[in-house]
Amino acid sequence: MKHEITLKINGETVTAEVDSRLLLVHFIREHMELTGTHIGCDTSNCGACTILLDGKSIKSCTYLAVRADGSEITTIEGVAEEGSNHPIQQAFHDQHGLHCGFCTPGMIMRSLDLLKNNPDPTDEEIRWGISGNLCRCTGYNNIVKAVKQAAKEMQQEKQPAV
């Protein structure tokens, strides 16, 4: 059965017909051709498919596309203006928080939600905060450092210029 859904994705309103069983991750990757959101485990363990749904990180492999009707979605492609870096992207680059890059989009989307709820996290809080996102390459040290750097920069950005 087809359902018409309308949602906002990276600021753009789209309307589409989707099957009941279409997973949100496939809607994003195959219908919207936003392939920065990846599939790693199928069972909501690895977090490669993490996106923001109405500002909260969710695992799009374990979410039906039809349920996103009326929602606002941000994927890795919508984090910063084309050709520029969000502080979190810059921080992953500066701190060498990525190797193969496959987990990176999900890791970044999760980190954004983490920093929204906890703008100044400790190392321990970052580790728990990204515990639903697996990285097989980096050993996490530099991801923790990247999230810390981003936290610092995002807080400074919020403060008025002296």
Partner 1 sequence: MFNCKTSAEVGGMGHSVKRKEDARFLHGKGNYVDDVKLPGMLHMVMVRSPYAYAKIKNINKEKALAIDGVLAVITGEDLAQYNLHWMPTLLSDTQMVLPTDTVMHQAQEVCAVIATDRYVAVDGAEAVEVDYEPMDPIVDPFKALDEGAPLLRPDKENQKDNHIYHWERGDREKTDKVIADADVVVTERIHLPRIHVASIETCGCVASYDKDTEKLLVYLTTQAPHAIRTVVALVAGHVGLSEEKIRIISPDIGGGFGGKVPVYPAYVVAIAATFLIGKPVKWIEDRSENLVNGFARDYHMDCTLAADKNGKIQAFKVKTLADHGYTDSSANPSKFPTGMFSICTGSYDYEHAFAELDAVYTNKAPGGVAYRCSFRVTEAVHAIERMVDKLAHKLGKDPAMLRLQNFIKKDQFPYSSPLGWSYDSGDYEATLKKAMEMIGYDDYKKEQAEKRKEGKLMGIGISTFTEVVGAGPSKDFDILGIAMFDSAEIRVHPTGKALARFGTKSQGQGHETTYAQILAEELGIPYSDIEIEEGDTDTAPYGLGTYASRSTPTAGAAAAVAARKLRDKGKKIAAYLLEVSEEDLEWEVGKYFVKGAPEKSKTIQEVVFAAYTNIPPGMEPGFEATHYYDPPNLTFPNGAYICVVEVEKETGAIDVKRFVAIDDCGNIINPMIVEGQVHGGLTQGIAPAMYEAIEYDDEGNVLNGTLMDYLVPTAVESPHWETGHTITPSPHHPLGAKGVAESPTVGAPPAIANAIIDALTPLGIEHLDIPITPAKVWEAIQAHS
Partner 2 sequence: MIPAKFTYHKATSVKEAVALAESLGEEAKFMSGGHSLLPMMKLRFATPEHIIDISKIDGLSYIKEEGDLLKIGGLTTQTEMEHSKLIQDKYPIFSDAIKLTADPSVRNAGTIGGNIAHGDAANDQPALMLAMRATVIAEGPDGRKTIPIDDFFHGFYMTALEPTDVLVEIHVPKAEKHSGGAYHKVERKVGDYATAGVAVYLELDDDGVCREIGIGLTNVSAVPMRVERAEDLLRGKTITDDLIKQAGD
Instruction: Kindly list the distances between the CA atom of residue 11 and the CA atoms of 81, 83, 133, in Å, as whole numbers in the listed order.
Output: 11, 17, 25
Task: Quickly list DSSP for 9-73.
Answer: ETTEEEEEEEETT-BHHHIIIIIS--TTS--S-SSSSS-TTEEEETTEEEEGGGSBGGGGTT-EE
Query: Smallest Cα–Cα separation from 59: which of 39, 86, 76?
Result: 39
Query: What tokens does 109 get?
Result: 């989307």
Given partner 2, partner 1, none, residue 34, with its beta carbon under 5 to 8 Å by kind, binds partner 1
Residues 44-83: x where in contact with partner 1 by CB under 8 A, - otherwise, as a string? -xx-x--------------------------xxx-xx---
Pick one of partner 1, partner 2, none as the site partner of residue 25 (Cβ within 5 to 8 A by kind).
none
**Paired tokens of 57:** 């990180």
Q: Which is nearer to partner 2, 96 or 120 (CB)?
A: 120
Are 35 and 102 in contact by the 8 Å Cβ rule? The answer is no
Piece of the chain touching partner 2 by CB under 8 A; list 54-62, 75-83, 84-92, 145-153: 54-62
Least distance from partner 1 to the Cβ atom of residue 107, Å: 10
The region of 52-60, 66-74, 124-132, 151-159 touching partner 1 under the rule CB under 8 A is 124-132
Nearest to partner 2 of 32, 52 (CB atom) = 52
DSSP conformational letter for 160: P
Residues that bind partner 1 (CB under 8 A): 19, 21-22, 26, 29-30, 33-43, 45-46, 48, 75-77, 79-80, 85, 89, 92-94, 96, 98-105, 108, 123, 126-128, 130-144
